[in-house]
Amino acid sequence: MKVVICGAGQVGWQIARHLAGERNDVTVVDSNPDLVRRATDTLDVQGIAGFASYPDVLEKAGARDADMVIAATHSDEVNMVTCQVAHSVFSVPRKIARLRAQSYLTAIYSDLYRRDHLPIDVVISPEKEVAEAALQRLSAPATFDTESFLDGAAQLLGLTVDEDCPIVNTPLRQLTDLFSTLRAVVVGIRRDGTLFAPESGDQLFAGDSAYVMTHAEDIRRTLEIFGKQVKKQERVVIVGGGNVGLAVARALETGPNRVRAKMIERSRPCAVRAAEALERTIVLHGDGLDAALLAEAGIERADAVLCVTDDDKTNMLAAVRAKAEGCPLAIALINDPTLVPLMEPLGIDAYINPRATTVSSILRHIRHGRVRAVYSIGDAEAEVIEAEVLSTSPIAGSRIRDIDFPEGVLVGAVRKGGKVMRPTGGLGIEEGDQIVIFALAKDVPEVERLLQVSIDFF
């Protein structure tokens, strides 16, 4: 597949890394020559320095015979014009644009993106994706990472294994015997900084981070088995009143659980805008690192603090200050993946990586086969892929134990006829089943091959 990626920032670079690693023909375009050089020096991609929306620049990048253009520059307008030029001049079949401004995303204006208007096939909104990720973190406070699959019927939980975890030092095959009715599978373990797909004889040790795929109805039981307390979130303090903070506060106001939220925002115009947009949320103007202001927001009585300013270090320090003031759960928005290892020593419970959420949503629209969802784990170390099994897919008609999966791949859940089942070796995979697979990055191309339709399908 030939792909032109416009924008070599964090998101563009990460997508280029994914696609180039899978031997696609990738060209990266950016107006900053240093970013283009970084991409070409570190990845197997071609690079063009120039403005992505200029037809001559797209021509040089190979748009004339490209299968896809991904517009992920920092400017919404450049992304929109890039897609228009890619369509009108070069007839590129698929166009994906990242748009941040809420006005462009309002449902009543969705006609704007029709082929005869602004021809964008997929619109990705980082703020919307990040706000949803933040709400998921709040809904599962005992986890450091969480994502839903199979229309919410299955959930991926990232759980830290503590010293007092009831199942520490227990081989995974014994867990199947001990909890025979539990619809949960440990699909990944991070130990000493390395992520791997465990085998049945592997044990969980204190200090491990485990990724567990569980049926939505078994989330509470899974958390209890891992020694995690399940506590309802009733009071939340949000530090940061930008697009993400505002989206989270709105969702909490309109959600089924009566969550009382207070917001702290440093910028006065931003605080005024948030106060006007929100009905029940109390907005305080000031610095989220100010202990007196945190006390005024009731941080010692809050169930969680969500730090979502546009500065990673502010988010981390505000989370640490909130924990010091007595808040039991601190969640920070962190763009820079090199800061993530500092979370544990600083006592920050969970983080949201906007880059990973945006990359995940873009990858969902790139994967081959009938892929329904993709979630990127860590620093692009692994993916969780949800896909529908087609009649000509190599895995159709096989039992799980007979499928030649690579070592770094595990099946996390299977849905048959609307019923989610725990994957066992003897479970047969049939056409129409929906399957959720954990795969280390190096094994993703092989998983795609197993999910792909054969050429005679067409």
> pLDDT tens digits, residue range 343-371?
888 988 888 888 777 777 787 777 555 77
Counting Cβ atoms within 10 Å, is residue 65 exposed (0-12), middle (13-18) or buried (19+)? exposed
Residue 324, helix vs strand vs coil: helix
Judge whether 128 and 100 are in contact, CB under 8 Å. no
Of 339, 341, 380, nearest to 362 (Cα)? 380
Q: Which two tokens stand for residue 228?
A: 């995690």
pLDDT tens for residues 30-67? 999 999 999 999 889 999 999 999 999 999 999 999 99
Residue 21 confidence (pLDDT) above 80: no
Higher-confidence residue of 271 and 131: namely 271
Backbone angles phi, psi at 110, to 5 degrees: -65, -20
Residue 106 confidence (pLDDT) above 80: no
pLDDT tens for residues 280-335? 999 999 999 999 999 999 999 999 999 999 899 999 999 999 999 999 989 999 98
Quote the pLDDT of residue 203: 92
In the block, tokens 């989220």 appear at 288
Q: Which CATH class is domain 2-124?
A: alpha beta
Of 300, 267, 301, nearest to 284 (Cα)? 267
Higher-confidence residue of 240 and 23: namely 240
130-225: CATH superfamily: Regulator of K+ conductance, C-terminal domain (3.30.70.1450)
In CATH, the architecture of 363-457 is 2-Layer Sandwich (3.30)
Of 215, 211, 219, nearest to 150 (Cα)? 215
Quote the pLDDT of residue 268: 95
Chain mean pLDDT for the chain: 88
- Which amino acid, residue 159? L
Quote the pLDDT of residue 454: 39
Does the CA dihedral 362-453-22-39 come out positive or negative? negative
Quote the pLDDT of residue 456: 34
Helix axes 354-363, 10-21, angle to 10 degrees: 50
Dmax of the chain from CA atoms? Answer: 68
* Beta pairing class for 25-30 and 46-49: parallel
Quote the pLDDT of residue 81: 95
- Which amino acid, residue 168? V
Contacts of 293 (CB under 8 A, 6+ apart): 264, 284, 286, 287
Of 227, 297, 50, 383, nearest to 306 (Cα)? 297
Quote the pLDDT of residue 451: 80
Judge whether 241 and 270 are in contact, CB under 8 Å. yes
> How many C-beta atoms surround the C-beta of residue 159 within 10 A?
25
Quote the pLDDT of residue 367: 59
pLDDT tens for residues 125-134? 877 888 888 8
> How many C-beta atoms surround the C-beta of residue 279 within 10 A?
8
Quote the pLDDT of residue 84: 95
For the chain, the domains span: 2-124, 130-225, 235-357, 363-457
235-357: CATH superfamily: NAD(P)-binding Rossmann-like Domain (3.40.50.720)
Contacts of 204 (CB under 8 A, 6+ apart): 161, 165, 167, 168, 169, 170, 172, 186, 189, 210
pLDDT tens for residues 253-268? 887 777 889 999 999 9
In the block, tokens 């949320």 appear at 281
What does the pLDDT average to over 218-229? 88
Judge whether 153 and 215 are in contact, CB under 8 Å. yes
Asked if the domains 130-225 and 363-457 are classified in one and the same CATH topology, the answer is: yes
Task: Find the angle CA(353)-CA(259)-CA(272) to the nearest 5 degrees.
Answer: 75
Q: What is the DSSP string of 342-379?
A: GHHHHT--EEE-HHHHHHHHHHTTT-SSEEEEEEEETT
